[in-house]
Amino acid sequence: MKKIFAILIGLLFLVSTFALASAFLSDASYIHPNKTNYAIGEKVIVKSDAGYDALETPNGVLEFNSSSWDGPVLTMVWKAKNAGTVKFYNSKTSVLIKVAMDKPTPMQQFMKILGFGKKD
């Protein structure tokens, strides 16, 4: 009988923990980039479920292209112009995005020598 009570109390504790966590996280807003490391010239797509409060772009790292609202989700499209770090943040979360020069792989160098794989 003691084991059953111990199991029931443990389950009650577990369920109450998840209930409290979901209650506190229900009003959270998140920022979702499609990836965190970019090469110069790539499009940076960032989605946020509650807009954004601030954007830090030191030295003109990103160039704004467009933004659109789809219900509660804001989608922003930027173009990586220079190497550097960008921080998207709001009151609940922050995301750090890095832009660097694209390093060619040995296979890309070999293809370039042969004249294949030219970028438009």
> Is 18 or 99 the better-scoring residue by pLDDT?
99
How confident is the model at residue 94, as a pLDDT? 78
The full set of domains in the chain, from first to last, is: 2-114 (2.60.40)
**Residue 84: what are its φ and ψ, rounded to 5°?**
160, -170
pLDDT in tens, 30-67: 777 778 888 888 898 888 876 665 566 656 788 888 88
Q: Please state, in angstroms and rounded to a whole number, the distance separating the CA atoms of residues 69 and 31.
A: 14
The two beta strands, 37-39 and 94-100, are parallel
How confident is the model at residue 108, as a pLDDT? 77
How confident is the model at residue 51, as a pLDDT? 61
Average pLDDT of the residues of the chain = 75
How confident is the model at residue 26, as a pLDDT? 45
What mean pLDDT is predicted for residues 93-110? 79
**Residue 24 structure tokens:** 């506190």
Check whether 18 has a pLDDT greater than 70: no
